[in-house]
Amino acid sequence: QALFEKLSRREMQIAQMLTDGKKVSQISHYLELSPKTVYSYRYRIFEKLGIYSDLELTILAIKHGLTEDSQGLKHLPQINAAG
């Protein structure tokens, strides 16, 4: 979970919504933010965590026990962004 401590409260909120499968348009509507603002948060989340996709975010969340689906999935293969 230390990895996710880099995120602000709002970034964490958006990260959790993304890992729940919410689309940017749904998040922006729910949080009353513009889609552009949500995309900016998403970009910062990716930057801070060193990832490049929603899939990588979801896998990290599962591996770190931050989602309800984390049981039994902590041994997923390591993602290698370089190749």
Number of H helices, E strands in the chain: 4, 0
Q: Which domains does the chain have, with CATH numbers?
A: 2-63 (1.10.10.10)
- Integer Cα distance of 5 and 28 in angstroms: 23
Is the pLDDT at 5 greater than 50? The verdict is: yes
| pLDDT at residue 6 in the model | 94
**pLDDT in the model for residue 73:** 47
Summarize pLDDT for 18-51 with one digit per residue, the tens.
999 999 999 999 999 999 999 999 999 999 999 9
Which three-class secondary structure state does DSSP give residue 70?
A: coil
